[in-house]
């Protein structure tokens, strides 16, 4: 039987984890997580890591397997995930991958795009600008140089913005022109499914999730990480706003409202990213699991033939 990777995508707080566990139990498979912040063991509440019962309900990989003090990027994850999948396919040709980090999903499914080497002085200058003037001027610069990238990447992530800008400035061409080139071949077939809902429902689920995170101790977790706030792993919605509160730049209430607002913006970018793939089969988040399994099984049967 051919190797098949069932990949679940969609905006944050839509229910991807719960669905992945149900599918893993049905197909007796493992789960590869490609959430770029759930890798880190110091970040539990703010990244909505699956709880103990969820982790015990199916075998998970790449959940809290790294430290925020380690350098880890999408290229390393691509290699690690492919190696893990190679081993998992030996015991079951059907496996599950789930996550909302579009770049990390694409890295596993298609391979990374090629980008030319850029003079290090450009990045150094951009990092200096970030330190002196903050992120907003860099965001505006990216919007002017490459609107397509500005509307699809996580523009609240300084590393992503600087990476895109250094390509634009170093080559004189938009970052987006280097994307979507022919990708590496894979030894598996992908069935990609997405969970969605009306925008108002998604936003309400996000707001309620943030409230639950706060009730569960998000402020305490962020306070313990505050001393390391400049680490790349912590340039993340949910922590950055609370760091501003701890620095007396925000009130607690405003920081929480900013977490909700920035998470909603993040979800909007996720939707834009994932909707680009016309092969994705979309389901309403309340679709009965048996209906989803039926459609996936039909796709598997076609692949087998």
- Listed by start position, the domains of the chain span 4-113+181-304, 120-178
Residue 267 confidence (pLDDT): 95
Q: At what angle do helices 74-91 and 102-110 cross, to 10 degrees?
A: 60
297: Cα separation from own chain's centroid:
26
294: Cα separation from own chain's centroid:
27
- Could you give phi then psi for residue 67, rounded to 5 degrees? -110, 150
- CA–CA separation, 135 and 244 (whole Å): 14
Question: Annotated binding site: which residue ranges?
Answer: 10-17
DSSP states of 143-175 = HHH-HHHHHHS-TT-HHHHHHHHHHHHHHSS-G
229: Cα separation from own chain's centroid:
20
Residue 181 confidence (pLDDT): 67
User: Mean pLDDT in each 10-residue stretch from start to end of the chain (305 residues)?
Assistant: 95 97 98 95 96 96 96 92 98 96 93 84 93 93 94 88 94 86 84 97 98 98 97 93 97 98 94 93 98 97 88
- CA–CA separation, 301 and 280 (whole Å): 17
- CA–CA separation, 85 and 74 (whole Å): 16
Residue 177 confidence (pLDDT): 87
Question: Annotated binding site for ATP: which residue ranges?
Answer: 10-17
CB 6 within 8 A of CB 70: no
Fold agreement between 4-113+181-304 and 120-178: no
Question: Annotated binding site for substrate: which residue ranges?
Answer: 12-17
- This prediction's pTM: 0.84
DSSP letter at 232? G
The residues pairing with 281 across neighbouring beta strands, listed in sequence order, are 193
- CATH topology for 4-113+181-304 is Rossmann fold (3.40.50)
- CA–CA separation, 85 and 110 (whole Å): 14
**Alpha-carbon dihedral angle through residues 224, 209, 58, 286, given to the nearest 10 degrees:** -170
**Residues 6 or more apart in contact with residue 148 via CB below 8 angstroms:** 174, 176
The tokens describing 136, both together, are 């907003």
Q: Is 82 helix (H, G, I), strand (E, B) or coil?
A: helix
Q: Is 4 helix (H, G, I), strand (E, B) or coil?
A: strand
- Tell me which CATH code domain 120-178 carries: 1.10.20.140
CB 193 within 8 A of CB 7: yes
Q: Is 59 helix (H, G, I), strand (E, B) or coil?
A: coil
169: Cα separation from own chain's centroid:
26
Q: Is 100 helix (H, G, I), strand (E, B) or coil?
A: coil
């Amino acid at each position: 039987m051919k190797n098949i990777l069932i990949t679940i995508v969609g905006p944050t707080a839509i229910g991807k984890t719960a669905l992945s566990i149900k599918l893993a139990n049905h197909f007796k498979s493992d789960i590869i997580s490609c959430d770029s912040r759930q890798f880190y063991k110091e970040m539990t509440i703010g990244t909505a890591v699956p709880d103990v019962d969820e982790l015990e309900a199916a075998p998970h990989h790449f959940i809290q397997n790294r430290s925020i003090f380690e350098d880890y990027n999408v290229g390393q994850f691509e290699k690690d995930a492919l190696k893990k999948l190679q081993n998992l396919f030996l015991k079951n040709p059907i496996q599950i991958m789930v996550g909302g980090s579009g770049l990390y999903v694409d890295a596993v499914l298609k391979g990374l795009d090629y980008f030319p080497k850029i003079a290090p002085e450009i990045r150094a200058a951009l990092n200096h600008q970030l330190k002196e003037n903050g992120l907003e001027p860099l965001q505006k610069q990216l919007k002017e140089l490459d609107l397509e990238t500005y509307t699809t990447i996580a523009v609240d992530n300084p590393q992503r913005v600087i990476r895109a800008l250094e390509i634009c400035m170093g080559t004189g061409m938009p970052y987006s022109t280097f994307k979507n080139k022919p990708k590496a071949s894979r030894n598996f077939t992908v069935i990609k499914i997405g969970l969605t809902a009306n925008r108002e429902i998604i936003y309400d689920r996000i707001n309620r999730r943030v409230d639950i995170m706060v009730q569960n101790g998000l402020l305490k977790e962020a306070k313990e990480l505050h001393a390391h706030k400049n680490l790349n792993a912590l340039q993340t919605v949910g922590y950055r706003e609370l760091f501003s509160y701890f620095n007396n730049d925000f009130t607690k209430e405003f920081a929480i409202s900013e977490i909700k607002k920035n998470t909603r913006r993040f979800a909007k970018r996720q939707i834009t990213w994932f909707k680009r793939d016309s092969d994705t089969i979309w389901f309403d988040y309340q679709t009965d699991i048996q209906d989803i399994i039926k459609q996936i099984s039909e796709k598997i049967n076609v692949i087998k033939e």
